[in-house]
């Protein structure tokens, strides 16, 4: 959804409040799609802060279903976003607005704003639990539910030449 801030920019001391739904069904990052499991409404308070400046305050809560980095089980990851930003639309700052991808001319794209805020808060590692054992690299069994019996010993490839020597000169 786009919020037009043209009138807000041109009227000194004007303040407007908005409550808007988040229209995205999935969050896309690095070619992966993560479904929204919960998404509240974005609450924004916009106020004129001077010549072509807007003060943006707001908050949003939601959660994404993201797979565990070890066992691939879906983990509910909550996001709590508190906003307090100054948007400068003056002519000398127009080239810097490319960094604020949610500001489009005299409008704010609320979905792009949420997308940006999730991006900067996206966790580096997602685990279903701290001691997650992951999956077997041979058979794919979830090791959190028990061992699979596969031989998961992987020899160091740097030692392959030495191991070949030992195999060739093995005394029987």
pLDDT tens for each residue of 26-83: 999 889 999 999 999 999 999 998 888 899 999 999 999 999 999 999 999 999 999 9
Predicted local confidence at residue 104, as pLDDT: 82
Burial level of 48, CB count in 10 A (0-12/13-18/19+)?
buried
The whole-model pTM stands at 0.76
The confidence band for 98, taking pLDDT boundaries of 50, 70 and 90, is low
HSE-CB for 40 with a 13 A CA cutoff = 13
Position 169 scores a pLDDT of: 79
- Cα distance from N-terminal residue to C-terminal residue, the chain: 77
pLDDT of the residue at 123? 93
* Confidence at residue 58, expressed as pLDDT on a 0 to 100 scale: 95
* Mean pLDDT within 91-110: 70
- Count CA within 13 A, CB hemisphere, residue 110: 23
Higher pLDDT, 109 or 160: 109
Asked if 76 and 62 count as a contact pair (C-beta separation under 8 A), the reply is no
Residue 92 pLDDT level (bands cut at 50, 70, 90): low
What confidence tens digit (pLDDT) does each residue in 102-151 have? 888 888 999 999 999 999 999 999 999 999 999 988 888 999 998 888 87
């Amino acid at each position: 959804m786009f919020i037009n801030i043209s009138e807000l920019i041109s009227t000194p001391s004007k303040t407007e409040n908005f409550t808007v739904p988040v229209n995205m069904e999935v969050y896309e990052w690095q070619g992966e799609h993560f479904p929204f499991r919960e998404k509240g409404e974005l609450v924004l308070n916009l106020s004129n802060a001077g010549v072509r400046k807007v003060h943006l305050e707001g908050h949003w809560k939601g959660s994404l279903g993201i797979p565990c980095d070890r066992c691939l089980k879906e983990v509910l990851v909550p996001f709590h976003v508190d906003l307090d930003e100054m948007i400068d639309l003056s002519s000398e700052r127009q080239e810097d607005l490319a960094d604020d991808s949610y500001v489009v001319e005299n409008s704010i794209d609320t979905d792009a704003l949420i997308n940006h805020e999730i991006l900067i808060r996206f966790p580096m590692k997602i685990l279903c639990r701290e001691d997650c054992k992951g999956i077997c690299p041979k058979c794919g069994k979830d090791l959190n539910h028990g061992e699979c019996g596969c031989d998961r010993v992987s020899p160091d490839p740097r030692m392959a030449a030495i191991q070949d020597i030992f195999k060739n000169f093995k005394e029987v």
